[in-house]
Structure 1
Amino acid sequence: MNAPTLLGYVGAVSGSLVSVKQFQGIASGIAIIGGRSYRVGQVGSFVRIPQGYHDLYGIISDVGATATPEVLRDANQRGERWMSIQLVGEIVEASFERGISQYPGINDEVHIVTEDDLAKIYGTADGGQVTIGRLAAAESIPVRIDLEKLITRHSAVLGSTGSGKSTTVASLLRSISGGHTGETAFPSARILLLDVHGEYGKALANVSKVLRVNPQDGSEPLYVPYWAMDILELVEFLMGRLEEKALSPILDKILEDKLAAHKKANFLGVDPTSLTSDSPIPFSLKKIWYELIDPEIKTWTDQQRTQSARIANGDPETLTPPQYPLPGAGSSSPFMNNAGVLGIRRPLTLLRSRLLDRQYDFMLHPGDWEPNLLGAVKKDLPALLENWIGHDKPITILDLSGIPSIVMTRLVGGILNIIYQALFWGREMPDGGRLRPQLIVMEEAHRYLGKDGHSPAREMVQRIVKEGRKFGVGAMVVSQRPSEVDDTILSQCGTFFALRLSNSTDRSRVQSSLPDNLAGVVDSLPVLRTGEAIIIGEAARLPVRCRVTLPPESERPQSGDPAVVEAWAASRKKGDYEGLAAAWRSQNPRWKLPTENGGGSGA
């Protein structure tokens, strides 16, 4: 008598692909086993192939005539009762392992996987695992992921807008940082979240520290000191692309100022003989600008150019240039300067404009991290690192919603450079990457990790995904357009959380990046429910369709759909367009009047 779980028999084996002829005795698509109903032959369902003392496990990737082995030329043998199975792992004695040690034989039995089987795989809570949701096919079975492999092997959360992507990320981070009960599972967890739209501050309020360009609701100001960023990228942003004959003297002047600042402050760990223009030592951009503009506009009263024609000294602190009379015509006084001229008046005008533009204050005038004209700062690099990754909360949210788009890729590249360089060089220190690993979560990654053009952020993330595993820096890439994300970055992600993806180009991009050849499973991405994900890769014991645990409404990201019907059905009221304009000008969506009758110029 056949077992009630019998699904079929192995008909062909080709590598990890097994063709199964469905058992004729199964008359419908539902089997009742142990009082529970199971759908038979569903794409994405698991199967079990007994092999004596251990069982092989696979996942159904194709069903029907297309799953028939090509070698079957006899029309009588072809038909719709075939399935393609991808082998994914095995249970030896009592523990489940990815990969297989032997292949099934022809006519071996193939069985439906029951909840008892799933409990053997997912039911054991080994150390270092995090519960993130429930199996979609059996919601009594929790889905756990391996935290160590999630961090060290990198991951990607991919899904169309509205698929529950932001909520999934918030749920994942809550599971790691304190679960959904408020108990801290990993009290020394260290997660940095780059929040492009400002969605997560409220959702993760009790487990995170929020840094914003425009502080509000208890958040702190975000500062990214320019002197700690990649110097070539900084100069290009501030002055445009320069020729080598102009760039080299500028870098030399920056190095000179950094050496002078070190001589005064004696920064720990700095060797003056190996210091470069890229070393994270404070220097004054105002002073650099003033010293570079002077030779460009200088004139002399004598032809030998020994007597300066300066009328006023100017002031580097206020970015006021020195004043000189314009050169005379022909050989008449005053005479044009010809020493130290780099021909960069236009780039210096751009530098001054950037320094005066208040929207870049978070970077060019970074509060206590802004150097004075001598390069002295109130707060140094240790205070910055402690502010970002050294506080008592497991998550740091850098809210980048107020950042100008023109500087986004350079800013993200600068932030990642600061974090990675500190954890890389300090990898053997107690707070370095190896002894206290760091996870960096990048929301809306397609905005700054695209394939085209020069992108400092993309280059930095490529380095992290290639080398970060060895130095304790993990990446989680979050995007609604995986087809626009750099190929190298996605190919290095070991775990994928694939939510609903409607676009065929995006689906094919995910399919080409997956570590398991599960085309049939990926084809089900368009029909996933909101908040449902297919989890594939190293952190998952098996490729699995999971219902991610939803946080309470109050702890969800502010990314939900607006209530269109309710809003449009309400009676029309007089609009407050003065407040609307003030919110735009203040770059603060929660702008309020300073007093009840204080007019429309709020803070």
Structure 2
Amino acid sequence: MSIVVGEVIAVTGIRISLRIFEDSSQETIFYEGVKYRGVSIREHISIQRGFIDIVCLVEGEFLDEKKLEAEAESTQYIRKVDVRPIGYIVDNKFFEGVKYMPMIRDKASLISERMVGKIYGTEGKTSFCIGTMLKENVPINLPWARIFNSHLGIFGNTGSGKSNTLAKLYTTLFDEKYQALKEKSKFVIIDFNGEYTEDQILPAADKQITVLDSKKGKDKFLIEAAHFWDVETLSLLFQATTNTQQPFLRRVLSGKERFKDVPLKRYVEKVFERVFSTGEAKSDALDLSREIARMIDCDPLEDHLKGIVYFTKDKYFKHGNSTYYNSNGTGFEQSIKPLIDEHVNLNAIDQFSELILRCYLQLCSDVVFGYAQYEHIQPVLARAKSSIAALRNVLEIVDVPPPPHLLHVISLKRCKNEIKKILPLLIAKNFYTNHKDSENLKSPPTSTLHLIIDEAHNILSEQSTREHEIWKDYRLELFEEIIKEGRKYGVYLTLSSQRPADISPTIVSQIHNFFIHRLVNERDLMLLDNTISTLDTNSKALIPTLAKGCCVVTGTAFDLPMILKIDPLLKQHRPSSDDVNLQELWALPIA
């Protein structure tokens, strides 16, 4: 038996007005051991239309006056509420959407808290619970399969509880599905603030933690050589211009591939032979040769090159010992080749140094043949040397990396800002490309990759002015490709940010499900309004006033938007982002 509290008095479009009976204004009602919530804003009411129960949400209430004819001066006040239909119940099962509308005088009844849980949750289907409904305090079981089979957005101002929500989602997932996830899925957290490097989500012993440090270089991210020796990657790392510097880098890589079986020492020897056996000597080639001698740490060769003079008028090289270097090659064969054969050893050179060396050798060869001008290419070499110096402490190039762990946390807390811009791109590209190649011919995919980016506005912003436009375009294009095309390969993004308006609108519009904490900036609210089709007006109006830990949950995995209060994690499992307790910090010592 239901508790009747009112009746329909008006139906206008999808707006329904109810008259509430005088004795139906209690806050909470217990009936036959079942708890019901009274009639108030954002509560749920059922309207009986035959054998159908139309479920409505209370959106407003007001008092109406009624003059009594018997007593001219007497006024009776009638409580009325406006409700909006959100679905209907048939055979004790809820269906979302407006299909039936009531008629005048249809009765309105309260809905039990258990039925509210069925409306919003997945009672009896899953036990995946991370919190309770804010008003009803009813635990809600979320459809975990539909949540993690989608791109997620967790947004909220600093201190609103978004880090706890992110950690709670994945902590609950691993608590319930740990054994099933092994060998089938990989989770990668790009952690800008070092919040997940201890026992968060999984115990530290059960996950791989890589703490990158721009200065000390203790831990390093292992990147495949095939991904590093890539013209797009190098062009972006070194901010190469499209028309001159990028084709130069392409020649460097094509030469490496074409002569991969030729020792690097022989390549050095061949370039020096071109420089000092040409019929028309180039002064820039001499300067580059001296720089190459310094790079390969060959003091005898460096000392010899210092004695070579370039004669501008007749364009030839001559050493102080009267040795000429011309097209007959005798000067090179007698003076330079023996020094290279005896003193140059490049067997132990790392791949970073090899890249810079190959760039200088290629430029030296291009200058001799007239393929490039020194002043056009030199800027990209300067940037390359600077970038390699920064990357050397955080990257290690390997041919075949070890198998990835189930959960890999990569902390960028100790990295410089320039590294924080570069590394997430390389990391995401590395994991995405490998997974894409492994799943390319499989439909549906047999494994999944979940990229979790905390403070995502750091790398997905369109507003940044500290980087080259080419770099920014490619960075956004990569993540836009992942969020657009990743689903078919089983790649999913989880983005957490305190400034969603800074993130590319293309990326935000492709997110399927949202956990939205308190946001007060008008640009952030406008972005959500323009990109989230499932966010209703009332839920949006609550966002600026949400309490800490509360969030609006909406998206394709949920029939209706709902307000959840996320359960707080224990201190040892919470992300390292707690507020400072100033009362404790500034407390005077007890005498």
Residue in 1 aligned with 2:507? Answer: 489
Partner of 1:524, secondary structure, is helix
2: distance between equivalents of 1:178 and 1:291? 60
Structure 1 gap segments, 5+ residues each: 67-78, 265-282, 371-378, 573-603
Q: 1:429 deviation in Å?
A: 7.1
Residue in 2 aligned with 1:250? Answer: 249
Residue in 1 aligned with 2:422? Answer: 410
Residue in 2 aligned with 1:194? Answer: 190
Residue in 1 aligned with 2:209? Answer: 210
Q: 1:195 deviation in Å?
A: 0.9
Identity score, percent:
18
Deviations, residues 205-246 of structure 1 (Å, cap 9, x unaligned): 41532222149xxx9643345741593543334433324244
Structure 2 gap segments, 5+ residues each: 64-77, 319-366, 464-468
Residue in 2 aligned with 1:568? Answer: 586
2: distance between equivalents of 1:319 and 1:5? 94
Higher share of residues assigned strand:
2
Residue in 1 aligned with 2:235? Answer: 236
Moved more, 503-512 or 519-528: 503-512
Deviations, residues 257-286 of structure 1 (Å, cap 9, x unaligned): 23555x79xxxxxxxxxxxxxxxxxx99x9
Residue in 2 aligned with 1:550? Answer: 568
Q: 1:496 deviation in Å?
A: 1.1
Is the contact between residue 359 and residue 404 of structure 1 (CA under 8 Å) also seen in structure 2?
no
Q: 1:529 deviation in Å?
A: 2.1
Alignment of 1:315-354 (within 5 A): 323=305, 325=308, 327-331=310-314, 333-334=316-317, 337=368, 339-343=370-374, 344-354=377-387
For the aligned residues, what is the CA RMSD? 4.1
Is the aligned partner of 1:314 residue 2:325? no
2: distance between equivalents of 1:55 and 1:311? 87
Deviations, residues 520-555 of structure 1 (Å, cap 9, x unaligned): 122112332211222112223432221212211111
Alignment of 1:432-511 (within 5 A): 434-452=445-463, 454-511=472-529
Partner of 1:476, secondary structure, is strand
Is the contact between residue 10 and residue 18 of structure 1 (CA under 8 Å) also seen in structure 2?
no
Residue in 2 aligned with 1:267? Answer: none
1: distance between equivalents of 2:440 and 2:235? 34
Is the contact between residue 145 and residue 541 of structure 1 (CA under 8 Å) also seen in structure 2?
no
- Provide closer, same or farther for how the CA distance between residues 240 and 311 of structure 1 changes in structure 2, counting only shifts above 3 A: closer
Q: In structure 2, which of residues 134, 144, 154 is the aligned counterpart of residue 157 of structure 1?
A: 154
Residue in 1 aligned with 2:110? Answer: 112
Q: 1:448 deviation in Å?
A: 1.2
Alignment of 1:236-385 (within 5 A): 236-258=235-257, 260-261=259-260, 300=276, 303-305=279-281, 314=293, 323=305, 325=308, 327-331=310-314, 333-334=316-317, 337=368, 339-343=370-374, 344-355=377-388, 357-358=389-390, 360-363=392-395, 366=396, 369-370=397-398, 379-380=399-400, 383-384=401-402
Partner of 1:509, secondary structure, is helix
Residue in 1 aligned with 2:174? Answer: 177
- Provide closer, same or farther for how the CA distance between residues 4 and 55 of structure 1 changes in structure 2, counting only shifts above 3 A: closer
Higher share of residues assigned helix:
2
Q: Using structure 2 for the length normalisation, give the TM-score.
A: 0.73
Residue in 1 aligned with 2:333? Answer: none
Residue in 1 aligned with 2:339? Answer: none
- Provide closer, same or farther for how the CA distance between residues 55 and 331 of structure 1 changes in structure 2, counting only shifts above 3 A: farther
Is the contact between residue 412 and residue 457 of structure 1 (CA under 8 Å) also seen in structure 2?
no
Q: 1:556 deviation in Å?
A: 0.5
Deviations, residues 91-133 of structure 1 (Å, cap 9, x unaligned): 3324434445444455544443321312433575455662212
2: distance between equivalents of 1:157 and 1:11? 39
- Provide closer, same or farther for how the CA distance between residues 32 and 425 of structure 1 changes in structure 2, counting only shifts above 3 A: same
1: distance between equivalents of 2:107 and 2:549? 35
1: distance between equivalents of 2:533 and 2:486? 19
Is the contact between residue 54 and residue 90 of structure 1 (CA under 8 Å) also seen in structure 2?
yes
Alignment of 1:587-602 (within 5 A): none
The amino acid that maps onto 2:394 is F
Residue in 2 aligned with 1:167? Answer: 164
2: distance between equivalents of 1:81 and 1:426? 61
Q: 1:248 deviation in Å?
A: 1.7
2: distance between equivalents of 1:291 and 1:244? 29
- Provide closer, same or farther for how the CA distance between residues 95 and 86 of structure 1 changes in structure 2, counting only shifts above 3 A: closer
Matched residue count: 504
Deviations, residues 10-60 of structure 1 (Å, cap 9, x unaligned): 73354xx433334253664735242746252323x3333444444343444
The amino acid that maps onto 2:431 is I
